[in-house]
Amino acid sequence: MSAPNRKGTSGSYTEGILLFSVMGLAAALLGGAWVSAHLGSSIAGIAAPPAHPIELLASLFKQEIPWPVQATFIAVGIGVLVVILGVMVALLATRSGKNKTRVDKAAVHMGRGKDLNHLSTKGAKATADRLGVVDSVGVPLGRTVAGKRPMWASWEDMLILIAGPRTMKTTSYAVPAILEAPGAVIATSNKRDIVDVTRSLRSAVGDVWVFDPQGVAEEQPTWWWNPLSYVKDEATAAKLATHFSAGSREPGAKPDAYFDTAGRNLLKAYLLAAALDEKPITQVYTWLTKQADDRPAHILREHDYEMLSDTVVARLREPEKQRAGVFGTALEMVSSLTDRNVGRWITPGPGPRRPEFEPDMFVRGSGTLYSLSREGEGTAGPLVTALTVAVVEAAEAYATSQPGGRLKRPLLGVLDEAANVCRWKNLPDQYSHYGSRGIILMTILQSWSQGVEVWNVEGMRKLWSASNVKIYGGGVSEVQYLDELSRLIGQYSYINVSRSSGKSGRSSSRQENKDEILSVADLTSLPRFRAVLLASGAPATMIETIPWMNGHHAEKVNASLASHGQVERGPVAPPVLNEGDKDS
């Protein structure tokens, strides 16, 4: 059992409270009697009673001095005032505890006060001013349980959020972050709600693009993106091939050491050949179905990629069974290209000319890109990943050309459902670097193991460590991860009082002990609207999450939803107004 909830260890505190209560009551009675006697005597026009309280009480008890009726009225008045004050205190205590949860006791042993100054509104605003960011404080995180102080990540912090299903990740973190973004935004998801809630407000500051090849939001392809526009050389072709490889593999599936690598390398060569020959990406699938077609090898040779061309030729001359295995693996990686609906989003197609999405131009503005996909068979996740990487790398290139090497208006990337629809293999290696470029990423996962499936244990630890702001939002039942998290949160000291009695009388002993502030059981059962914040330079902090429905954008968002015939969203928990929200 965690220390804040430990039974039988609070004897010293209970005794202290009882002692001070008795002393306070005695002081109130003594003070009330003194005031009543002196004021009453003055009003009655009789001699003043003794000034010393003890002497006064002794004289009254012995009836050596009179107690005028005026003193009685004053004493009654003081008593009424004390009762009223007590009732008010009780009401305030009841009201303040109305929204408390069973883990809130732990907050007093966690981060608060000056330790959190850099995460406060004032601290985040100072960072924004230093970076030249206007009209935005930072990324909202919630508010502290102890003190009700708003918390923010700055525009140079990288974030990771781990919380189980239906823990309000999107409503409490993804949406509020998007609504506060001062520049361009890219958001991934497997649900449409992130689009519905934020689209109208974001359209007021820039163009909105919804990449929806699987019809998650029932969006029509009024524009298109050419994945091969990202491919400039062998390195970028290899990255794109890796996105297809990672995104097409089932979670937990182990790749074949030979065929997976060989298939990915073949796909790299064909992607580069298609880009050089200005073919649509669907041509790659067609080439792979024709194992004897040597056109890709000729294209590569024509553009001075002789060694890569030789690799393709060697692959074509392999024994039939071996060649079929390699080509079959590559075909499986790009199987999503066979979906006609997917193809409409990544090829110009027939009919009226549609605008083409250009990452290089997008990162210079304040537009919003929503990239949606479902997980499972036929997923367009590899394309979502490829588009996300294309945008982020375009932002990095643009930042490099800017004074100080960073974007003046940060680009915010909200990678919701990252392990399902945006399996970016190299993300852990790049994470800390992007923060220095003004590219702020928030990676949202349902569990630690979900991240391990994508990046393996070492990669997941690297991603976790590279995040300046780490948030655990409950709903996870992985003992090893929660045990490590409990250790990061730290321990709490308490006094254990032991009492014994014998022939020589009663005795007691006091011993200081330590226990976890939050145990594994506390963390796995973390209530809704509570999260643990671990930020660089601060102790672990218990925070109250604030869904967008309870935030200051709620009225505008609901007006937008209503104008589009959608259901408005009311507050999901009673909003508590307090001085901390005015902050600090």
Interval 63-81: pLDDT, tens: 778 888 887 888 888 888 8
Angle between helices 306-316 and 295-302 (to 10 degrees): 170
Considering only CA atoms, which of 542, 539, 575 is closest in space to residue 117?
A: 539
Q: What is the reported pLDDT for 27? A: 75
- Which residue among 343, 372, 402 closes a domain? 343
Q: What is the mean pLDDT of residues 323-330?
A: 95
Cβ contact 303:274 at 8 Å:
no
Do you know the residue count of the chain? 584
- Say how many Å lie between the first and final Cα of the chain, rounded: 34
Residue 469's φ and ψ, nearest 5 degrees, are -125, 120
- Who's near 188: CB < 8 A, 6+ residues apart? 370, 371, 372, 373, 384, 388, 414, 415, 416, 417, 418, 421, 422
Report the distance separating Cα 318 and Cα 278, nearest Å: 28
- Which residue among 70, 98, 126 closes a domain? 98
Q: What is the mean pLDDT of residues 237-241?
A: 97
**How does pLDDT run across 93-111, given as a tens digit for each residue?**
555 555 678 899 999 999 9
**11 confidence band (pLDDT: 50, 70, 90):** very low
Cβ contact 188:381 at 8 Å:
no
Give yes or no: residues 531 and 435 share one domain. yes
Neighbours of 359 (CB within 10 A): 22
Considering only CA atoms, which of 387, 350, 371 is closest in space to residue 190?
A: 371
The model carries a pTM of: 0.83
> Regarding predicted confidence, which is higher, 499 or 198?
198
Q: What is the reported pLDDT for 61? A: 77
Does residue 573 lie in a domain region?
no
Does residue 534 lie in a domain region?
yes
**How does pLDDT run across 377-412, given as a tens digit for each residue?**
778 999 999 999 999 999 999 999 999 999 999 999
Does residue 531 lie in a domain region?
yes
Give yes or no: residues 394 and 296 share one domain. no
Considering only CA atoms, which of 88, 96, 226, 236 is closest in space to residue 576?
A: 96
DSSP bridge partners of 205: none
Give yes or no: residues 258 and 135 share one domain. no
Q: What is the reported pLDDT for 92? A: 67
In three-state secondary structure terms, 433 is: helix
Q: What is the reported pLDDT for 315? A: 94
DSSP code for 408: S
Give yes or no: residues 130 and 219 share one domain. yes
Sign (positive or negative) of CA dihedral 450, 454, 458, 461: negative
**13 confidence band (pLDDT: 50, 70, 90):** very low
**2 confidence band (pLDDT: 50, 70, 90):** low
**How does pLDDT run across 448-470, given as a tens digit for each residue?**
999 999 999 999 999 999 999 99
- Which residue among 274, 309, 343 closes a domain? 343
Residue 138's φ and ψ, nearest 5 degrees, are 170, -160
Give yes or no: residues 446 and 557 share one domain. yes
Does residue 472 lie in a domain region?
yes
Query: What are the CA-CA distances from residue 58 to residues 25, 34, 39, 44, 52 (Å)?
Result: 19, 12, 18, 21, 10
Give yes or no: residues 207 and 248 share one domain. no
- Tell me how many helices (H) and strands (E) the chain has: 22, 13
Residue 294, domain extent: 234-343
Give yes or no: residues 436 and 541 share one domain. yes
Does residue 581 lie in a domain region?
no
Give yes or no: residues 408 and 546 share one domain. yes
Sign (positive or negative) of CA dihedral 387, 391, 396, 401: positive
Instruction: Tell me which range, 40-49, 180-189, 509-518, is most confidently predicted by mean pLDDT.
Output: 180-189
Neighbours of 433 (CB within 10 A): 12
**Cβ burial, residue 363 (10 Å; 0-12/13-18/19+):** buried
Considering only CA atoms, which of 264, 163, 185 is closest in space to residue 473?
A: 163
Query: What are the CA-CA distances from residue 450 to residues 281, 377, 460, 478 (Å)?
Result: 30, 18, 9, 11
Does residue 11 lie in a domain region?
no
Give percent above pLDDT 90 in the chain: 69
The CATH number of the domain holding residue 207 is: 3.40.50.300
Q: Does the pLDDT value for residue 579 go beyond 60?
A: no
User: Strand 505-516 vs strand 491-502: parallel, antiparallel, or unpaired?
Assistant: antiparallel
Q: Which two tokens mark 22?
A: 């008795």
DSSP bridge partners of 211: 371
Q: What is the mean pLDDT of residues 36-61?
A: 80
Give yes or no: residues 480 and 386 share one domain. yes
Give yes or no: residues 93 and 182 share one domain. no
Q: Does the pLDDT value for residue 575 go beyond 50?
A: no
Cβ contact 146:134 at 8 Å:
no
| Domain total of the chain | 3
Q: What is the reported pLDDT for 80? A: 86
Q: What is the reported pLDDT for 8? A: 44
Give yes or no: residues 396 and 536 share one domain. yes
Give yes or no: residues 443 and 546 share one domain. yes
In three-state secondary structure terms, 248 is: helix
Does residue 10 lie in a domain region?
no
**Cβ burial, residue 165 (10 Å; 0-12/13-18/19+):** exposed
Which residue has tokens 């990676």? 443
Does residue 548 lie in a domain region?
yes
**Cβ burial, residue 378 (10 Å; 0-12/13-18/19+):** middle
State the chain's mean pLDDT as an integer.
89
**How does pLDDT run across 247-280, given as a tens digit for each residue?**
877 666 677 778 999 999 999 999 999 999 999 9
Q: Does the pLDDT value for residue 486 go beyond 70?
A: yes
Query: What are the CA-CA distances from residue 93 to residues 5, 90, 98, 270, 555 (Å)?
Result: 20, 5, 9, 69, 30
Q: Does the pLDDT value for residue 49 go beyond 90?
A: no
In angstroms, how far is CA 469 from the centroid of its own chain? 8
